[in-house]
Structures are given as C-alpha cells and as structure tokens.
Amino acid sequence: MTSTADQPEITMKSLKAADPRWCTGCGDYTILVGLRKFMVNYQLKPEETINVSGIGCSGRIPHYMNTYGFHGVHGRAVPLALGSVLANSNFNIFIHSGDGDSLSIGGNHLLHGIHKNFNCVYLLFDNEIYGLTKNQSSPTTRQGLSTMTQPRGTALEPINPVRFALGAGASFVASTAEWMPKHMLDTIEAAFNHKGFALVHIAQRCPKFNPTSWNHKTSDWVSFIEHENGIQADLKAAPDATKMTHDPSDLSKAFEVSEGVPDRFGLFYQAEKITYDELIRNQIKDTKQLSKDDILSPFKI
Ligand SMILES: Cc1ncc(C[n+]2csc(CCOP(=O)(O)OP(=O)(O)O)c2C)c(N)n1
Ligand code: SF4
Ligand SMILES: [Mg+2]
C-alpha cells in the first residue's frame, strides 16, 4: 500500500518508537520485529492499535511500538486490555505477557480473559524463566533446571500453557516460536483474524538466564500440527521437523496433541464463540436509560 494525503504508509520505521534494551540474542527482538512486520503487511493504523503489557522483559514492547500503549502492573495486562475493548471495540489490541506474568501472578486474570473471550491477540512470551528479575523458576520452567529460587533444581513439572488455555475454554489456541519467523507471522495473522481471545504461545529464547530451553540450532525435536484450516508447517525454519495432521475444530484431539507442547507448534483449537464485548454492548443497547432520580430512588430512606 502506498501513502495518500490522509493515510500515510505504515512502515517498519514509522512504527519504531525507541531503541529496544534487551540482552544480545534475546528472542524479544524477533517478536517485536514480527509484530511490526505484521502491522506493515496489514497496514494497521497506529492510532487504532493498542499494545498492552504486564511487567517483565516482555513487558517492554509497548515502549518500542509507535502506537497507543499501556505498560501495566505485573500480571494485570488483561483487565487493562478489557477496559480498552469495552470503551472502544474498534481498536486492534495486542497483549504482551511473559510466562511468569501470564501464569504466576496473572494466572487469575488470564483465566478470566479467556473465559470472557473479548477480542484481542494475547502473545504469551515463554522463555520458561523470570528474565527481568534475573533467573527465578516460573510455572513453565523445566523440571530439574537450577535457578536462583530453586538451585537444587526446579521441583515441579511445568504447566502446559496450551492445555491451560484449552481447559479454560479458549476459542483460539496456537503455539509458535520466535526463531521460526514465517510460522510466527502466520500465527499472528490467524490470531488477528479470529474474533475473540486469541492465545498465541511463543517459545522465546532467553540466552542470558535460560540458554538450554529450546535447541533452536537443530530441529529434529520440533513437531508441527497442520490442517487446511490451521497453520502450515515451517520446514524452512525447521527442516528436520516432523508433521502431523490435526483438525483445529476437534477439542478432544487438541488436548491429546497438546501433550507435545512446548516442542509442538501450530493451531491447536479454534471455535466461534460470542465475545464479552458483544454481550455487554447488546445489554447496554437493550437497557432503558434511567434518570438520576430513578437510579437513586431505591436508596432513599
Ligand atoms: C506485584 C509484583 N510482584 C513481583 C514483581 C517482580 N517481578 C517483575 S517481573 C517478574 C517476573 C517476570 O517474568 P516473566 O513474566 O516470565 O517475564 P520475562 O521477564 O521473562 O519476560 C517479577 C516476579 C513485580 N514487579 N510486581
Ligand atoms: S534476561 Fe532474557 S528475556 Fe530478558 S532481555 Fe535478557 S535475554 Fe531477553
Ligand atoms: Mg519469562
């Protein structure tokens, strides 16, 4: 798309707000670039887009995007985003949240965001560690990994974020990896085109505190799920990966194939479901406006 007098072209440069400050080799750079590329491909207007985040290295994204943005409180990106959607449903909403932000302190909010199915793209940056606070175990840290909080090895088995979302009744659940750029862009596109709460789990490199999580230099451990209604495998990025067919409308199969997470990528589940914003707007539309006296009269003594 080219620029016109009233609609300047959206470019990678025009979307840049500041220079990112992450460690060298951090996967957050790739996610930031992927998001900008997506906005350029779709010519999404910055003035109609809000990036919302919690706290963490992942939470810095809104600072770097030349759009509206909220860098919120730890674990509270969901209520901020929901408030924005209820105020104006014409915005494109992207939520950015780490594995700790999403599944520790923000677990309750994520559950209710999924349940409400309000319209947004939720990007779960999973580096399987607390990065910003320097190396504590998170709910997705692999069992046995030595961290600052559990130096003798992380005791519990990790939470499977895809299963969590499926169990909570999500209408869209996908998983991708930031070092597979085409797969990640295709996944963001599918999530954006979904009406409702679209949860995208993103495997993310943290070379500083968790360099052993995913061996992104090899790909024989990667498995893709594919379907004509799903997201296609990215064999350019992962040439030795295996593929399997999975129909994303099949919820019980989605639970089965999600056993392979965090090494399995693709669209696990998608369904049509009414959104909370629609429900509330319909209620408001059908509600008679009351005068101040009508509202206060039941409280008179
Ligand atoms: C209420 C509150 N509790 C704890 C913290 C400290 N804190 C900041 S970020 C963070 C965890 C970040 O981990 P994650 O969400 O995985 O993000 P990452 O840095 O790995 O991207 C914690 C515990 C905080 N800022 N606020
Ligand atoms: S600590 Fe990890 S997640 Fe945070 S900026 Fe550094 S590499 Fe990235
Ligand atoms: Mg993290």
Residue 50 has what pLDDT?
Answer: 98
Specify whether the CB–CB gap between 138 and 125 falls below 8 A. no
Over the stretch 123-162, which tens digit does the pLDDT of each residue have? Answer: 999 999 999 999 999 999 999 999 999 999 999 999 999 9
Decide if pLDDT at 213 tops 90.
yes
Residue 1 has what pLDDT?
Answer: 44
Give all domains of the chain, ordered by start, each with its CATH number: 7-299 (3.40.50.970)
Give the number of the ligand closest to the Cα of residue 106: 1
Q: Verify whether ligand 2 is closer than 6 Å to residue 84 (CB atom).
A: no
Residue 286 has what pLDDT?
Answer: 85
Decide if pLDDT at 122 tops 90.
yes
DSSP track, the chain: ----SSSPPP-TTTTB-S-----TT-HHHHHHHHHHHHHHHHT--GGGEEEEE-SSGGGGHHHHBSSEEEE-STT-HHHHHHHHHHH-TTSEEEEEEEHHIIIIITHHHHHHHHHHT-SEEEEEEE-SSBTTTTSB--TTSPTT---SS-TT---SPPP-HHHHHHHTT-SEEEEEETTSHHHHHHHHHHHHHSSSEEEEEEE--BTTTBTTS--TT--TT-EEEE-TTS----TTT-TT-EEEE--TT-HHHHHHHGGGTTSEEEEEEE-----HHHHHHHHHHTSPPPPHHHHHGGG--
Whole-prediction pTM value? Answer: 0.96
Q: Verify whether ligand 2 is closer than 6 Å to residue 208 (CB atom).
A: yes
- Cβ contacts of residue 297 below 8 Å, gap of 6+? none
Over the stretch 240-294, which tens digit does the pLDDT of each residue have? Answer: 999 999 999 999 999 999 999 999 999 999 999 999 999 999 999 888 889 999 9
Q: Verify whether ligand 1 is closer than 6 Å to residue 138 (CB atom).
A: yes
Residue 4 has what pLDDT?
Answer: 62
Instruction: Please state the rounded mean pLDDT for residues 86-114.
Output: 97
Q: Closest Cα to atom 22, ligand 1: which residue?
A: 133
Residue 3 has what pLDDT?
Answer: 55
Tell me the sheet residues that pair with 190.
none
Give the number of the ligand closest to the Cα of residue 28: 2
Q: What percent of the chain has pLDDT over 70?
A: 98
Task: Tell me the CA–centroid distance for residue 7 and ligand 3, in Å.
Answer: 37
Residue 5 has what pLDDT?
Answer: 60
